[in-house]
Structure 1
Amino acid sequence: MSHTLLSLVVPFYNEQESIGSFFPRVAAVLEQLEGVDFEIVCVNDGSRDGTYPALIAAARADSRIRVIDLTRNFGKEAALTAGLDEARGDIVIPFDADLQDPPEVIPQLIAKWREGFDVVMARRVDRMSDTLMKRMSALLFYRVHNKLADVKIPENVGDFRLMSRDVIDALRLLPESRRFMKGLFAWVGYRHSTIEYTREARSAGQTSFSAWKLWNFALEGLTSFSTAPLRIWFYLGSTIALLSFGFACEIIIKTLIKGVAVPGYASLLVSILFMGGVQLIGIGIIGEYVGRIYTESKRRPVYLIRSRFQSEATTASPAHE
C-alpha cells in the first residue's frame, strides 16, 4: 500500500518549556493516521534558551524528527519559510510549538484533503484562550486588511492549515524577502476548504509576540498586499486642499465685503500643526513602501541555515552549510 508522507513544519523560538509535552502529544496523533507516514521538521529560529539541545535530544530519540538550525533569529515568517523549503512531504502542515492549535485536528485536515482539496484551512471559532485585546486587535486587522487589500485573508485563519505539494512548490517560486505568509498562502490560490476548531491555551511558556510586534506584523501584511494607504493619502490631501480653498474664499469674502477682521494666530497655529502632522504621517506611509523596495532590491536570502540534524537511523551525520 502506497503511503503519503506528511511534513509537520514547526518553528521554535525559546520554546524549551513546551518541548517536553509537544512531541509526545503530536506523535500520538500522527501515529494513528492510516496510510500516512510523517516527519516533523523543527526549525530553531535562533533560540537563546535550551530549545536547540532539547530538539537535538528529541531527534536522537526519533528519526522522524529533523532539526533545522538557523544562524540567528530571523523571525517566524522566515523560519516558517525555511521549514516549507526543507519539507519533503506530499502534504505539509505548518504548526505552532505552543499547542494552541490542537494536533487532534490534523486527521480532519487530511480527510478534507482526500476529498480533492489542495488547501485545507483551520478556522478558529473560539479564541477565548486569547486575551480580549488580542481578540479585538485580530478582528480589527482582518476587517481593515480585507477592506483595503486585493488579496483577502480568511478571518481567524492562521498558519495552521494543510497544503499539497503543488501549493508548496508554488510558494517556493515567490521571490520576496519580506514575507507575510498568511497573505502568500491566500495569493497562490488553489482549491481550498475550511474546517473549524477551538483554540486552546498555551501548553507552557509565554508568547514572544508583544503588542508592538503584532502592530508591526499587521502593518507588514497591509503594505505587502495593498497600495491603498498611498491612494487614501492622495484623497485625503485632495480633500484638505479643497477645504482650505473654501476656507480661504470665506476669509476673503468676510474681509473685503463684510469688513470682518481676519482671525488671529490661534487658528493659524492650529492649521500649521495639523498640516505638519498630516504631512509627517504621509511621509511615514511612503517610507514604509520605500523601505520595502530598499529591502527587496538587496536580494538577501530570507534565512541562513547553520546545520541540519537527523538521527543516524536515517542519516549518518548532520549536514552543514
Structure 2
Amino acid sequence: MTAEARKRISFVVPFYNEGVNVDLFHGTIKVTTAALPYDLEFVYVNDGSGDDTFARLRAIQDADARVTLVNFSRNFGHQKAITAGLDYATGDAVVIMDADLQDPPSVALELIARWEQGYEVAYAQRRTRKDGLFKRVTASAYYRLLARIGDVDIPRNTGDFRLMDRKVVDEIKKYREHDRYMRGIVASLGFNQIAVPFDRDERLHGETHYPLPKMIKLAVDGVLGFSTFPLTIMTRVGVAVSLFSVLWIIEVVLHKLFFPGDLVQGWSLTMIAILFMGGINLLMLGVLGSYIGRIYREVQDRPIYTLDGVYRAGEAERARPAMVPTQHSSPLTPASPASAA
C-alpha cells in the first residue's frame, strides 16, 4: 500500500472529567492500533470538564501530531460531544468510543475488519455487561420498549461504540437536531450495517458520568426522537377514560332506577373522579409539552455547541468555523482549520 493510497481512520472520543483516564486511554489506543495499515487521527472532545482533563489532553496533543483537540466552552453533553467529533473528523472511516475503557479498544480492530469486508456501519453490541442489576434490568426493559414503539429499528444492547464509513458520517452531519440520540440517527440511515458482539468491561477508574437523571434524559430523547407513540397513546387513553365514564353513568342510572337505596351519598367518589381525570389530563399535557418543547428548541435554530478552541499539531488555537450546518441551513461541512486561517 503506497503512501498516497493509505486511507485514514479517525477515532472520536468525548472526555468529561476523565483526567484520571486520559493518559491510560491514549496509551492503550496507541498500542492497540500500532499495527494498522492506515493513517490514524484521534479527535478528542473535551466536554467542558471541571478537572485537569483539558490540560492532560493538551499535553497529549502537543506530543502526538495525530491528535486533534476540540474544546467546548462548557459542558454540552455526550451526544453533542460526539457530534463535534464527527464534524472535525477527516478519516475515510470514523470510530466512536468512550474514554473509560469500558469499550475495549481491541474491539475497534474487529469493527475495522468488518469495514474492510465492505460494511458501512459496524456497531459493537454488548453480549455481557458488568453493571449493577438495576441498570441491566432497566436497560433491557428500555430496549424492548423502544423496539415495540419506535419508528426505527434500533439494535438492542448497543451504545455509541461503532465504526462508520465516511459517506455515513457525511449523512449524519446533516442531522442537526438539538435533542440528539446518535444511535437512533445511525439506525435510521440504513446502509449496510453489522453487529460485532463483545463483552463490556468494568470502568477502571473514576465514576460514571451517566447517572440516573442523564440516563433517563437519553432514554426520553430516544423515545421522543424516534417514536410518535406517546402522542397516539393520548388518544387511546382519552377513549378508554371516556368509555369508562359512559359505563359508570349507565351503572349509576341503573342503580337509581332499580336500587335507589344502594347509592352512596357524599363527595368522596366525586372527588376521586375529578382527581383521576385531572391527573390524566396533566399527564397528557406533559407528553404534549415534551414534543412542543423539542419543536421550540429546533425553531430557535441555535448552534448545537460552542467551542472555546480547536487544537491541531503545529497550528495555533482555532475558533469555531463560521459555516456550520444548522437545522434549517444547507448541510455544509465545517471549514478545516487550514481553510479557516
Give the TM-score range, shorter chain: over 0.9
2: distance between equivalents of 1:84 and 1:250?
Answer: 62
Matches within 5 A, 1:27-106: 27-33=30-36, 35-106=37-108
Q: CA deviation at 1:69?
A: 0.4
Secondary structure of the equivalent of 2:295? helix
Structure 1 residue aligned with 2:268: 266
Contact kept, 8 Å, 1:47 with 1:73, in 2: the verdict is yes
CA contact (8 A) 2:176 2:304 kept: no
Task: Work out whether 1:289 is the aligned partner of 2:291.
Answer: yes
One-letter amino acid of the structure 2 residue matched with residue 15 of structure 1: E
d(CA) in 1 for partners of 2:169 and 2:23? 29
TM-score, normalising length: structure 2:
0.90
Q: Tell me if the contact between 1:21 and 1:203 (Cα under 8 Å) persists in the aligned partners.
A: no
**Shift in Å, 1:256:** 2.2
Does 1:150 find its partner at 2:151?
Answer: yes
Q: Which of 21, 28, 32 lines up with 1:18 in the alignment?
A: 21
- Secondary structure, counterpart of 1:280 in structure 2: helix
Give CA deviations for 1:257-297 in whole Å, capped at 9, x if unaligned: 33234333222222122111111111110110010011110
Q: Secondary structure, in 3 states, of the residue corresponding to 1:116?
A: coil
Which ranges of structure 2 fall in alignment gaps of 5 or more residues?
Answer: 321-341
* Cα deviation, residue 318, structure 1: 2.6
Which residue in the other structure is 1:317 paired with? 316
Q: Distance in 2 between matches of 1:247 and 1:84?
A: 57
Helix, strand or coil at the partner of 1:160: strand
Residue 183 of structure 1 aligns to which amino acid in structure 2? G
Is the partner of 1:124 in helix, strand or coil? strand
For 1:298, the equivalent position in structure 2 comes to 300
User: What is the alpha-carbon root mean square deviation over aligned residues?
Assistant: 1.1
Please give the alpha-carbon distance, in whole angstroms, between the structure 1 residues aligned to 2:111 and 2:181.
23
Contact 2:153 2:187 in 1 (8 A): yes
Q: Residues 278-320 of structure 1: CA distance to partner in whole angstroms, max 9, x if unpaired?
A: 11111110110010011110001111111111232xxx32322
Aligned mates of 2:20, 2:229 — CA distance in 1: 42
| Aligned counterparts of 2:88 and 2:47: Cα–Cα separation in 1 | 14
Residue from 116, 119, 135 that aligns with 2:118: 116
Give the structure 2 partner of residue 134 of structure 1.
Answer: 135
Task: Give a deviation string over 1:156-194, Cα, whole Å, max 9, x none.
Answer: 111001100000000011232221111111111101111
Give the partner amino acid of 1:5.
R
**Residues 47-66 of structure 1, C-alpha deviations (whole Å, 9 max, x = no match):** 11100010000111111111
CA distances 1:15-55 after superposition (whole Å, capped 9, x unpaired): 0011121111000011121x211111000111111000100
Same amino acid, percent of matched pairs: 39
> For residue 87 of structure 2, what is the amino acid of its counterpart?
D
Tell me, in whole angstroms, the C-alpha distance in 2 between the residues paired with 1:141 and 1:259: 49
SS at match of 2:65: coil
Q: Say whether the 8 Å CA contact 1:122–1:158 is kept in structure 2.
A: yes
Tell me how many residue pairs correspond in the alignment: 316
TM-score, length basis structure 1: 0.96
Matched letter for residue 78 of structure 2: K
State how far apart, in whole Å, the 2-side matches of 1:101 and 1:64 are: 21
Paired amino acid for 1:279: N
| Residue of structure 1 in register with 2:281 after alignment | 279
Within a 5 Å distance, the mapping from 1:145-294 to structure 2 comes to 145-263=146-264, 264-294=266-296
Q: Are 1:178 and 1:302, in contact at CA under 8 Å, matched by a contact in 2?
A: no
Gaps of 5+ in 1: none
Cα drift, residue 209 of structure 1: 1.3
CA distance in 2, matches of 1:7, 1:294: 34
Letter of the 1:19 partner, please give it: V
C-alpha contact 2:48 2:76 (8 A) present in aligned 1: yes
